[in-house]
Amino acid sequence: MRIGIIGLGYVGLPLAVAFAEAGHQVVGLDVDAAKVEALNAGVSHVEDIPDAALAPLGERLRATTAYADLAACEAAIVCVPTPLTDSREPDLAYLEQAASSLAAILRPDQLVVLESTSYPGTTRERLQPILEGSGLATGTDFHLAFSPERIDPGRTDFTIRTTPKLVGGITDACTERARDLYAEICDEVVVLSTPEAAELAKLLENIFRSVNIALVNELAQLCDRLGIDVWEVIGAAATKPFGFMRFEPGPGMGGHCLPIDPFYLAYRARQLDFYPEFIELAGKVNQAQPAFCVERIERALNEAGKPVNGSRILILGVSYKGGVGDVRESPALKIIGRLQDLGGDVAYHDPFVAELPGHGLASVDLEPGLAEADLTAIVTAHPGTDYADVVARARQVIDFRGVTRGIEAANVTRL
Ligand X SMILES: NC(=O)c1ccc[n+]([C@@H]2O[C@H](COP(=O)([O-])OP(=O)(O)OC[C@H]3O[C@@H](n4cnc5c(N)ncnc54)[C@H](O)[C@@H]3O)[C@@H](O)[C@H]2O)c1
Binding residues for ligand X, rule: CB under 6 A, are 6-12, 29-32, 35, 79-82, 94, 97-98, 115-117, 149, 151, 153, 256-257
Alpha carbon 341 to its chain centroid, in Å, reads 27
Find the shortest distance in angstroms from Cβ 112 to ligand X.
Answer: 13
Find the shortest distance in angstroms from Cβ 27 to ligand X.
Answer: 12
For CA atoms 175, 30, 70, 158, give the dihedral sign: negative
In the complex with ligand X, the residue whose CB is nearer, 78 or 398, is 78
Closest chain position to ligand X (CB): 9
Cβ atoms within 10 Å, residue 88 = 13
In the complex with ligand X, the residue whose CB is nearer, 63 or 412, is 63
* Contact assessment for residue 379 and residue 331, using Cβ atoms and an 8 Å cutoff: yes
Three-state secondary structure call for residue 14: helix
257 is catalytic: yes
Find the shortest distance in angstroms from Cβ 149 to ligand X.
Answer: 4
Nearest to 159 by CA among 343, 341, 302, 21: 21
Find the shortest distance in angstroms from Cβ 264 to ligand X.
Answer: 9
In the complex with ligand X, the residue whose CB is nearer, 209 or 359, is 209
Find the shortest distance in angstroms from Cβ 267 to ligand X.
Answer: 14
Nearest to 160 by CA among 20, 264, 298: 20
End-to-end C-alpha distance for the chain, whole angstroms: 51
In the complex with ligand X, the residue whose CB is nearer, 231 or 320, is 320
Please name the residues in contact with 154: beta carbons below 8 A apart, sequence gap of 6 or more.
47, 48, 321, 322, 323, 324
Q: List beta partners, residue 165.
A: 189
Please name the residues in contact with 310: beta carbons below 8 A apart, sequence gap of 6 or more.
343, 344, 345
Q: Give me the catalytic one of 174, 186, 223, 257.
A: 257
In the complex with ligand X, the residue whose CB is nearer, 38 or 407, is 38
Taking CA atoms, 362 is separated from 169, 186, 291, in Å, by 46, 40, 23
Cα–Cα dist 209/159, whole Å: 19
Can you spell out the DSSP letters for 271-296?
A: HTT---HHHHHHHHHHHHHHHHHHHH
Cβ atoms within 10 Å, residue 345 = 16
Find the shortest distance in angstroms from Cβ 316 to ligand X.
Answer: 23
In the complex with ligand X, the residue whose CB is nearer, 103 or 308, is 103
Active site residues: 257
